[in-house]
Amino acid sequence: MSTSTPRLDSLAAGGTGEGFDGIRLADGHVFTLKVGPGAETAEVFLYPGLDAPDTEAWVSEDQWEVWLTGGEFGDGSLYLDVPVEAVRDLIAQHGGEHGNQTAPGEGPAKADEAEKAEAIAVRALAEWGITAHQDEDAGNTWLAIGYDQTRKGFPRMLSEPYVVLYLYSDTDEEEITVDRAPVTGDEWTVLAWNGSGPERELITRPADRFAECVEAIADWVTSPLADRSTAHRN
pLDDT digits (tens, 9 = 90+) for 48-70: 788 899 999 998 887 655 444 44
Inter-CA distances, 32 with 62, 200, 207, Å = 15, 39, 19
Q: How confident is the model at residue 86 (pLDDT cuts 50, 70, 90)?
A: very high
Global model pTM greater than 0.75: no
User: How confident is the model over 89-101, as a mean pLDDT?
Assistant: 87
Residue 162 banded pLDDT, cuts 50, 70, 90: very high
Average pLDDT, the chain: 82
Higher pLDDT, 2 or 136: 136
**Residue-wise pLDDT tens digits, 164-191:** 999 998 877 789 999 888 887 889 999 9
Q: What is the pLDDT of residues 110-121, one digit of tens each?
A: 444 457 888 888
Q: What percent of the chain has pLDDT over 70?
A: 82
